[in-house]
Amino acid sequence: MSTLSVYAPFDQSLIKEIPLATSKEMSNAIDRALGLFLDQSKWLPKYKRVEILENIAFLMEERSEEIIQISAMEGGKPWMDTEVEMKRAINGVKLAIENMGHLKGEEVAMGHTVSSANRLAYTMREPIGVVASVSAFNHPINLIIHQTIPAIAVGSPVIIKPAPTTPLTCLLLVEIFESAGLPEGWCTAMPCDNDVAEQLVTSPKVNFFSFIGSAKVGWYLRSKLAPGTRCALEHGGSAPVIIEPDAEIKSMIPALVKGGFYHAGQVCVSVQRIFVHESIVDEVVEEMDTQVRALISGNPLKKETEVGPLILPREVDRVHEWVAEAKEAGAKVICGGQKISNTFYEPTILLNPSDDCKVSTQEIFGPVVCVYSYTDRQEAINKANALEFAFQSSIFTKNIDVALDTVRKLNATAVMVNDHTAFRVDWMPFGGRDASGLGLGSIPHSMHDMTREKLMVIKSEVL
């Protein structure tokens, strides 16, 4: 039997070894999920799903310290941020319950042509079928909730493959689901290697594919889907921020620092490229420098830690290579720019890296923020829109006309005004456009995607 060793990103100590699902086990899991879906006598009525979800929220609250501990240990996100993620995840379950009452059809008008006379028509929403979810490491609690709970809420069986670096949180959550009364087979966690995971994704028995991860992998897997399988893909970005001369610097800097260095920058909407008007660039850089140097890096299990490790040592090496390339090409290192250890990288600010180096053209996914000086706002907008990624962005200004004009011109799914790019609540539309993904991943959007519409037309002479 093949096993997966799960290591703590903080010190690379072994946390646990778990078995990896085999190809046969994956086939059995898919067949079991399909069998539950095809046999409507086994479907869970809505009131039962509500009861189960309420129990899940209660048990997650009751066992929150345990979940936070495991998640922070295997994922490396600091305790203070994992605690916030835990609260979001519990709220996500409650959101699913709330939105179960909003998934409904509507009357389709009939009778206004001779051919449609004597008819009454209504739409209704049904579960889409088997859902396959492939998850990422950076939010081990909340992403699992987003990729399983909507399916459970609408009555679609779901199989989830957790990230190989953070499978323990997923296994614990599925255990909690079953303790809450969810029958076996309705949500199955399948840690597995890439070949077995691809078997899940390509199966013609899967009706919906949910993916969170890199664009390279996401688009590849989408190309392998069976005909008819719907999907939602959430990839990364390189979140741009535009700062006008009238921006409120005192309140802005803490937001940018949090948005840039939260979870060591390993977030798909982390602040990465900050375009600052030349008249205030020195002041902005100086204030950011002061606050970034004060960040506390260390053990994610300590409640005072603000910046944890990167998920793997090779990611530390990669980030350092990108920073070194930018420095060699003329970027000024304001702070950071060095490895702290093989698992930690210094929170780093780069000033005016070249437009063609990796930190300017690709998603850094590390604790590095780039600041660029600009003269004309349209120039900053053009640079912000120059990459293939388009996820979340922001504009800082007190001028409502400037804000609205910038919102209109930025290529992004969401534009924050006077807030950092990583803002999110779980009921708002959230997802990338262009290379950054396909579809929207809020709890309500996911529930809608995991159902499909059916039309009923009744013909009667009395109508």
pLDDT at 28: 98
The HSE-up count of residue 403 (CA atoms within 13 Å, CB side) is 13
| Cα–Cα distance, 265 to 258 (Å, whole number) | 9
* Catalytic residue numbers, as ranges: 234, 268
pLDDT tens, residue by residue, 107-142: 999 999 999 999 999 999 999 999 999 999 999 999
pLDDT at 113: 97
Whole-model pTM: value is 0.95
The CATH classification number of 240-417 equals 3.40.309.10
Compute mean pLDDT per 10 residues along the chain, 463 residues long, and list them. 95 97 98 98 97 98 98 98 98 98 95 96 97 97 98 98 98 98 98 96 97 95 96 94 97 97 96 98 98 98 97 98 97 98 98 97 97 97 96 97 98 97 94 93 96 97 92
Identify which of 421, 396, 410 has the alpha carbon closest to the alpha carbon of residue 246: 396
Residue type, 254: P
| Cα–Cα distance, 373 to 275 (Å, whole number) | 6
Per domain, the residue ranges of the chain are 3-235+436-458, 240-417
pLDDT at 302: 97
One-character DSSP codes across 242-256: EE-TT--HHHHHHHH
Protein fold of 3-235+436-458: Aldehyde Dehydrogenase; Chain A, domain 1 (3.40.605)
pLDDT at 163: 97
Q: What are phi and psi of 28, to 5 degrees?
A: -65, -40
Query: Would you call 31 helix, strand, or coil by DSSP?
Result: helix
